[in-house]
Amino acid sequence: MVDSAATIGNGVGIGAYSVVEGDVEVGDGTWVGNHVNLRNGARIGKRCKVFHSAVIGEIPQDLKFGGEETTAVVGDDVVVREFVTVNRGTKALGKTEIRDKSYLMAYVHIAHDCMIGENVIMANSINLGGHVEIGDWAILGGAVQVHQFTKIGRHVMIGGGFRVVQDVPPFILAAGEPLKFSGINAIGLRRRGFSGGTRKEIKESYRVLFQRDKHQAEALAEMMENYPYSAEVQEIISFVENSERGLI
């Protein structure tokens, strides 16, 4: 059932028993499976695959939501597997967004006002609270639970089954209960073209931040002094300085 007001691109396929409401856009070449619900406010990019029984654009599970017009934006080349739910935003941000080439496996829940970067992989049964931010190329293992307002940096890998209740800075592995720093994501960084020298700078910087008995401000100053021209170290410093929930 496709509302005549919906904007449907060229070469789109829509499966049996799916419902597409009027304030919905679906980009060229996207495939929508069976029993999918694309609710008002859903914006689906080009060449996406939305598998059976997914729901995109449903109203937030937020008692403060007042019926305002907001969106759930899915970029290009995104894969949304079975039973994924993506709620639209609230007046706080106005949208929930999943950027290009990300992969959401079955039963993932993306709450209101979340911002998911490019090339993010989220394994089965992950739940995100509202206002979560996840950087590009992050990988989250199955059944990870992420507290609202938490930030996860770029190129992070989080082990399956753990809870994320504080911010996870970029380029690292995180595991354990409570969640903690488990080294840098060396294999992922190498696969994505980070040089050996850059990986060493990241590793040495985290040794200063996490493994020495220093106040955080002193550690950041030492990192700045040691690697003043490293874009990656500057990214780590900026992430730490802007953390509101504190670091794992």
Instruction: Write down the domain spans for the chain.
Output: 7-131, 188-241
C-alpha separations of 23 from 9, 10, 61, 93 in Å: 14, 18, 20, 19
pLDDT at 120: 98
Per-residue pLDDT reduced to its tens digit, 80-123:
999 999 999 999 999 999 999 999 999 999 999 999 999 999 99
Per-residue pLDDT reduced to its tens digit, 37-75:
999 999 999 999 999 999 999 999 999 999 999 999 999
pLDDT at 211: 77
CA gap 51, 46 in Å, rounded = 15
Coil, strand or helix at 98: strand
Told to judge if 112 belongs to the known catalytic residues of this protein, a careful annotator would answer: yes
pLDDT at 248: 96
The one catalytic residue among 100, 113, 136, 167: 113
| pLDDT above 90: percentage of residues in the chain | 98
**Whole-number mean pLDDT of the chain?**
97
pLDDT at 145 over 90: yes
Token pair, residue 105, equals 């496996």
Per-residue pLDDT reduced to its tens digit, 199-227:
999 999 999 998 777 899 999 999 999 99
Q: Does domain 188-241 have CATH number 1.20.1180?
A: yes
Per-residue pLDDT reduced to its tens digit, 170-197:
999 999 999 999 999 999 999 999 999 9
Which strands sit side by side in the sheet containing 109-110, from one edge to the other?
Answer: 19-20, 37-38, 55-58, 85-87, 109-110, 127-128, 145-146, 163-164
The one catalytic residue among 112, 117, 136, 141: 112
Topology classification of domain 7-131: UDP N-Acetylglucosamine Acyltransferase; domain 1 (2.160.10)
pLDDT at 213: 79
pLDDT at 134: 98
pLDDT at 214: 83
The one catalytic residue among 45, 75, 130, 188: 130
* Bridging pattern class, strands 163-164 and 157-158: unpaired
pLDDT at 88: 98
CA angle at 35 for the pair 146 and 56, rounded to the nearest 5°: 35
pLDDT at 103: 98
Considering the entire predicted model, what is its pTM? 0.96
Told to judge if 28 belongs to the known catalytic residues of this protein, a careful annotator would answer: no
